[in-house]
Chains A and B, each alone.
Chain A
Amino acid sequence: MARPPRVRRSRGRDPLGLRRALSDRLLPALVAAMALLAAMALAGAQGAAELTSRWEAGAAAAVTVQLPPGVASGGRLERALAALEALPEVAEAQLMSEAQMQALLRPWLGEAPAVALPLVIELRLAELPASPEALAGRIAAAVPGGVVESHGVWVARLVALARSLQAVALAALVLVAGIAAAVVAVAVRAGIAARRAAIALLHDMGATDADIAGRFAGRAGLLVGTGALLGTLLAAPVLAGFADLAAPLLGQVPAGSLAGLPWESVPWGALALLPLLGAALGWLTAQATVRRWLRRLP
């Protein structure tokens, strides 16, 4: 029997001609731009979370009251604590121990301070007051002669702001994913329009919806995954640069040069997921778009 001829079959596995119908330039470029935005939103959310946890520690004692000398005697301290706990805004009032005070003042006074340490009451608030100044006035009225320090209220507000930023960053991430899905859907619809006759032919020959949708989904997943990988690679140095700029906020020294950028601050784990998630998003969007279109065929 004669040997079957060898023929060029390079496109045999792409009967719909999707390599041309779904361009390997425009879609990956658009997705790369969106992946860059997604990476920045992701890093923003992570950075805001880090700041939140750092600042939350500072906001633990929202208000402190330094008591005037002589309060410790004659039951005045107990009365002051009771008066503070009676305030509706105060959840808990607690006298700081001598050991806590020594630890707090050690950087300035050393291991064995020669001066008498003041008595300080820590207040934990039930909720953040609308006006810290008005609360400070009520506390001062409850403990005459006391010095009220309400910096923790402002720190707590910063924490709330950081949490809001985190939520906005995550919302931006969801929005970018939604826009990416819409872009993929538009590209796939254009591909369907360009290959309408070929799709109908395959359908008439007995190709299943899963087969046709799978061809589109495979191509879309590849292109979106490639674009997302490109965008993620572009994002890494940008994020390292941002981390360097933010170093003073975290008590670190900025590098100021490319070589010294804090690469360890880049959220590599989350970034590594972006191309995979992008490919999955492209695959799923293409599947849904094509299957929906195919339902109109008999």
Chain B
Amino acid sequence: MVRFDDVGLRYGSGPAPEVLRDVSFTLPQGSFHWLLGPSGAGKSSLLGLMHLALRPSRGEVEVLGQPLSRLRRGALPGLRRRIGVVYQDFRLLPHLTVFDNVALPMRIAGRAEAQLRADVAEMLRWTGLDGKAGALPATLSGGEQQRVALARAVVTRPALLVADEPTGNLDGAQARRVLALLREMHRLGTTVVVATHAEGLVAEHPAPALRMSEGQLVAHG
């Protein structure tokens, strides 16, 4: 479950304006939500709060049943390992192979090498990248890089998956393939939040939506 209660977010200190204002909503465990709104509406900031890359300036954020205001800093890494993130710009590590990029969250979680090999190989098959395990990201197409990013985000079977414009750089066929993978994760029980402004894709896959405008949640449902 994800719960925002009267959340405000301001970058830096001082009298800077809030980029998110009075945001309140609840996402049930195992739900699929679109996060919609024009560029600059605050979608990425909202996702940043969800995957604990940001902390709210005010209000309460509860992620996977954990209210952040009551969590010690030392407890955050454990919670972050239960969240998968697909970034708009992929954020693959260029000096690592596809295999090592996908294996990274498992290594961070302390999984043994012998165990993770099978899981990573399975994830590469699931995303159609099984022939690319030894390739470096720079040699892949945009669609392939996005699928590597998706495989990395879900390889630990996270309880919450957030994706920021995961289809923004892809053509129609590639976008539909990535979305099918996200849907599959939802089917397996993961709470999924996908930020996009591809209204056509949303129309093809109807689901509840959070709609942002100028830092405020203007519609939920």
Contacts and interface: CB of A to CB of B under 8 A. Distances in A.
Interface of A: 4-5, 7-9, 11-15, 17, 20, 197-198, 200-208, 211, 298
Interface string B86-100: 000001010111011
B118 interface: yes
Contact of A198 (B85, B93, B117, B121): B93
B85 A202 contact: no
Contacts of B214: none
B118 A4 contact: yes
Interface stretch (B29-37, B102-110, B172-180): B102-110
B133 interface: yes
Q: Which of A15, A17, A203 has the most CB of B within 10 A?
A: A15
Given A207-B77, A207-B108, A17 B118 contact: no
A206 B105 contact: yes
A208 B76 CA distance: 9
Nearest to A19: B95
Contact of B121 (A5, A197, A206, A211): A5
10 nearest CB pairs, A to B: A206-B81, A4-B121, A206-B80, A12-B100, A7-B133, A7-B134, A206-B77, A7-B99, A17-B95, A298-B55
A204 B134 contact: no
B100 A204 contact: no
28 contacts: A7-B97, A7-B133, A7-B134, A8-B99, A9-B99, A12-B97, A12-B99, A12-B103, A12-B107, A13-B107, A14-B95, A15-B100, A17-B95, A200-B53, A201-B93, A202-B104, A204-B53, A205-B80, A205-B104, A206-B80, A206-B81, A206-B105, A206-B108, A207-B77, A207-B108, A208-B74, A211-B108, A298-B76
B22 interface: no
Given A9-B100, A14-B95, A298-B55, 11 more contacts: A4-B117, A12-B97, A12-B100, A197-B91, A200-B53, A201-B93, A204-B85, A205-B104, A206-B105, A206-B108, A298-B53
Contacts of B96: 11-12, 15
Contacts, number: 75
Most buried by B among A14, A15, A206: A206
- Chain A contact residues: helix, strand, loop or mixed: loop
A207 B107 CA distance: 9
B78 A11 contact: no
Contacts of B80: 203-206
Contacts of B97: 7-9, 11-12
A199 to B, nearest CB: 11
A175 to B, nearest CB: 36
Contacts of B62: none
A97 to B, nearest CB: 74
Contacts of B118: 4
Contacts of A211: 108
Contacts of A7: 97, 99, 133-134
Interface in B41-82: 51-55, 74, 76-81
B6 interface: no
Given A17-B93, A201-B91, A298 B100 contact: no
A204 to B, nearest CB: 5
A208 B120 CA distance: 22
B107 A15 contact: yes
A20 B55 CA distance: 32
A104 B104 CA distance: 79
A100 B79 CA distance: 83
A206 B109 contact: yes
A158 to B, nearest CB: 58
Contacts of A205: 80-81, 85, 104-105, 108
Contacts of A5: 121, 130, 133
Contacts of B121: 4-5
A11 B120 CA distance: 16
Nearest to A20: B95
A197 B93 CA distance: 9
A4 B113 CA distance: 12
Contact of B95 (A4, A11, A202, A203): A11
Quick one: which of A5, A200, A202, A211 has the most chain B CB within 10 A? A5
Contacts of A200: 53
Contacts of A202: 104, 108
A113 to B, nearest CB: 83
Nearest to B99: A7
Q: Most chain-A CB neighbours within 10 Å: which of B55, B79, B100?
A: B100
